[in-house]
Amino acid sequence: MKAWNVVRLKRLTKNAKQAFWHSDDFNDGIKKLGSQSSSPADNPFRALALAGQDAAEHHT
């Protein structure tokens, strides 16, 4: 099980790097990280981006 999670996270890392960092804007990057119905366990990068967005909105 742990080996599968490592493989899955490596794949997500590659996809996140391409999709998120090469997006036109932040919201487009979040959309490219996955669907709104995906859980934080499914895509930790999407969860991290959303948490960062919430934090930025809280402090502005």
**Residue 51: burial class (beta carbons within 10 Å; 0-12, 13-18, 19+):** exposed
Q: Which residue has the tokens 């502005």?
A: 60
Supply the pLDDT for residue 24. 93
Supply the pLDDT for residue 54. 93
Segment 4-52, tens digit of pLDDT: 888 888 888 887 888 888 899 999 999 888 877 777 778 888 899 999 9
Supply the pLDDT for residue 25. 93
* Amino acid occupying residue 41: A
What is the Cα gyration radius of the chain?
12
29 or 60: whose pLDDT is higher?
29
Read off the tokens for 57: 């909105």
